[in-house]
Structure 1
Amino acid sequence: MRDKLDAVDHTILTILSEDAQMNYTDVAKRAGVSPGTVHMRTRKMKNMGVIKGATLSLDYSKLGWKMTVFLGIFLKQASLYKDVIDALSEVEEVVKIHHSTGKYDIFVKIHAKDSLHYRRLYQESILVIEGIRDIESFISLEESMNRHIHFGEK
């Protein structure tokens, strides 16, 4: 039981994935358990690495960041993967990096304030990374959904 998750853990995860800032008392009420149980189970899931922290979900466009762009990156050599990932991680506007199968070696999500910012970022910070052979860009017109998997019983 110590290293396995059960239905109570899944319910707690589902509730916290809707609002990571919800206090343990409110989580406990919704889950039908005590606040102490929520605290103990949450600590266990943190120690297991299941819960990695809590983040805010931001609407970047309301903060002046009007563009979300996905980049499909082709590497010159597969052995350069770590070096390219490390370099991409240094670019503040890069918010997600995935090692992927299929057409691209790496798939990246970035935010930019506008097309001029994106062009500068693309030309001066990304294209110059040693190990990148080619890039395909995809501009997001709208994010229609952003959610976590529902782990509790329906």
Structure 2
Amino acid sequence: MNKLKAGIISAVSVLVIGGASFIALADDKPQDPAETITAYYEEAKNGEVDKAKEYLSKDLLHYRETFSMFGTPDQLIPEDGRKYKKVEPLKNTLKITGQTARMKVKLTYPDNSSETETYNFIREEGNWKMTLKDGM
């Protein structure tokens, strides 16, 4: 009888641990800043404002909600999605320092002109999120 209880407890433990591992691996949140920037612009392009907001830090979202003279996040995010034809994170420029990171991103406009900008990131709630530029 004790062997049966021990067997059941072992089986349940394996299922719980295995299930938790599967859930952790199935998390589709970006694992690095390059994936964050790509996911943000993809959601913005698709008009998924609430999903796109998940890639913005609390400070950046607060800034856009409070101080932006260009509109609210609900207005600005879809514009972000339409603004660029292509967004290419330049992974070789990624610099991570603790819970913050910087990376250059090549932004190509619909007319095929392009520019490179530096984006800042912060690790928040276990995920990389875009944050304010230095000094803002």
TM range (shorter): under 0.3
Bigger proportion of residues as helix: 2
TM-score (norm 1): 0.24
TM-score under structure 2 length normalisation: 0.26
Higher relative contact order (CA closer than 8 Å, sequence separation 6+): 1
